[in-house]
């Protein structure tokens, strides 16, 4: 997508810029902006019984139906939260006595509550492609002790690798464990059905699929329940109190509806992504694409540029008007290698040259071309061969 914004209250935004950081946050769909503005301009607390309240309630319930449809769930089983982070925390904190078992490549929204939890937590290693080591998982689940909750992401935010969630569920069932999946990155990018996956809980975030930031959901399967972490007024059937963010929730619903309609468009992004990977490989055969050998999200590429630090690349791309990310945007600003690439046993000096490019609903072939041209330019100026020649 090419932006045409100029000077803003917050400073200059380069005109003609290209946004390739959808895994950090996706541009909000115009239909969503419109709906959110309309809902914000209409008074109403979804718990009030008068007409304004009933309209707000309808907005929330319509949105709930769209979000449920995106993941093949029943509307009653969608709990709106303040985002993916809260949904992950609710899933992991909602079961007092269970042991927690998480993969080493989970997002911080899973890893942090798991590691802070009073329950003894096991972190299961992954292979070189970032997929969970099922044999190691089985060993952990077979250990004596309390039943476990396993949390395994559906797709990785940095590499796009799609985890074998069904196989994890099969193992977990044999050991009486529940399974949560963080589907924040997968939702809206690949087809997704909670009944097919057979996971007990699934987390979503609106802003990764063209909705507003600060709203998400934890989706339960069948009759599963969680223990509320935010208590008070009893909203969301007592599972998550607090006056509903009606405008945000309505925007989430609209984004979910559009994402479901747009799944085939997302599948088509794999061609652009593959083109980027092929052409950068021709320019620098030593560049590495992480998790390329396993099923991945169609929009995500995590690739190294030999000899050029990630932060340098991000800065130079930014100067050229292209937004990308060094590893996980949620941890950008830190210079240490990503915990995901580290868990995949990528050598640190190589991991420090990796960036993430993530395409989305408004990306075009022209965006991919400009990315490759800029990549070639940066590599020519600063890459390994420039270092060798100096
Ligand atoms: N889980 C994953 C895999 C993510 O990529 C993110 C955000 O980057 C989150 C959870 C957190 O979601 P939110 O930003 O809505 O809190």
pLDDT digits (tens, 9 = 90+) for 133-158: 999 999 999 998 788 999 999 999 99
Pocket, ligand 1, Cβ cutoff 6 A? 83-85, 88, 107, 109, 153, 157, 182, 184-185, 205, 207, 216, 330
- Give 86 Cα–ligand 1 centroid separation in angstroms: 9
Residues forming a β-bridge with 325 = 356
In ligand 1, which atom is closest to the CA atom of 328? Answer: 8
pLDDT above 60 for 299: yes
pLDDT digits (tens, 9 = 90+) for 232-282: 999 999 999 999 999 999 999 999 999 999 999 999 999 999 999 999 999
Distance between CA atoms of 301 and 369, rounded to whole angstroms?
A: 15
Residue 232 vs residues 53, 57, 215, 235: alpha-carbon distances, Å: 19, 19, 19, 8
pLDDT digits (tens, 9 = 90+) for 200-228: 999 999 999 999 999 999 999 988 989 99
Query: For position 15, what pLDDT does the model report?
Result: 61
Residue 44 vs residues 38, 41, 216: alpha-carbon distances, Å: 12, 10, 21
| Averaged pLDDT of the chain | 92
Candidate of 86, 160, 192, 205 to mutate for ligand 1, largest count of ligand atoms within 8 Å of Cβ: 205
pLDDT above 50 for 295: yes
CB atoms within 10 A of CB 83: 24
In ligand 1, which atom is closest to the CA atom of 25? Answer: 8
Distance between CA atoms of 127 and 156, rounded to whole angstroms?
A: 13
All structural domains of the chain: 2-20+263-389 (3.90.1150.10), 30-261 (3.40.640.10)
């Amino acid at each position: 997508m090419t932006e045409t914004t100029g000077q803003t209250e917050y400073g200059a935004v380069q005109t003609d810029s290209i946004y390739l950081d959808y895994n950090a946050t996706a541009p909000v769909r115009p239909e969503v902006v419109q709906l959110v503005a309309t809902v914000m301009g209409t008074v109403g607390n979804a718990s009030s019984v008068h007409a304004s309240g009933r309209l707000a309630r309808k907005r929330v319930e319509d949105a709930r139906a769209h979000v449920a449809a995106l993941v093949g769930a029943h509307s009653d089983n969608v709990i709106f939260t303040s985002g993916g982070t809260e949904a992950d925390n609710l899933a992991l904190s909602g079961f007092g006595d269970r042991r927690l078992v998480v993969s080493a490549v989970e997002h911080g929204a899973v890893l942090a509550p798991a590691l802070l939890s009073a329950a003894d937590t096991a972190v299961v290693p992954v292979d070189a492609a970032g997929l969970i080591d099922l044999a190691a998982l089985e060993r952990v689940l077979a250990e004596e002790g309390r039943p476990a909750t396993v949390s395994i992401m559906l797709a990785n935010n940095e590499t796009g690798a799609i985890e074998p969630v069904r196989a994890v569920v099969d193992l977990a069932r044999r050991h009486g464990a529940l399974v949560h999946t963080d589907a924040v990155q997968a939702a809206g990018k690949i087809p997704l059905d909670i009944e097919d996956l057979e996971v007990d809980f699934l987390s979503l975030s609106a802003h990764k699929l063209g909705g507003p930031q600060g709203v998400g959901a934890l989706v339960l399967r069948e009759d599963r329940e969680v223990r509320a972490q935010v208590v008070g007024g009893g909203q969301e059937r007592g599972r998550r109190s607090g006056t509903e963010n009606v405008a945000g929730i309505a925007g989430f619903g609209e984004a979910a509806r559009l994402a479901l309609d747009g799944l085939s468009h997302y599948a088509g992004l794999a061609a652009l992504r593959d083109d980027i990977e092929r052409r950068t490989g021709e320019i620098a055969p030593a560049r590495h694409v992480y998790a390329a050998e396993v099923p991945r999200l169609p929009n995500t590429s995590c690739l190294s540029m030999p000899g050029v630090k990630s932060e340098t690349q991000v800065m130079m791309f930014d100067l050229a008007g292209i937004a990308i990310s060094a590893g996980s945007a949620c941890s950008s600003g830190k210079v240490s290698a990503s915990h995901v690439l580290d868990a995949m046993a990528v050598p640190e000096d190589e991991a420090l040259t990796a960036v993430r490019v993530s395409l989305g609903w408004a990306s075009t072939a022209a965006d991919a071309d400009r990315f490759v041209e800029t990549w070639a330019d940066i590599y020519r100026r600063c890459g390994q061969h420039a270092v060798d020649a100096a």
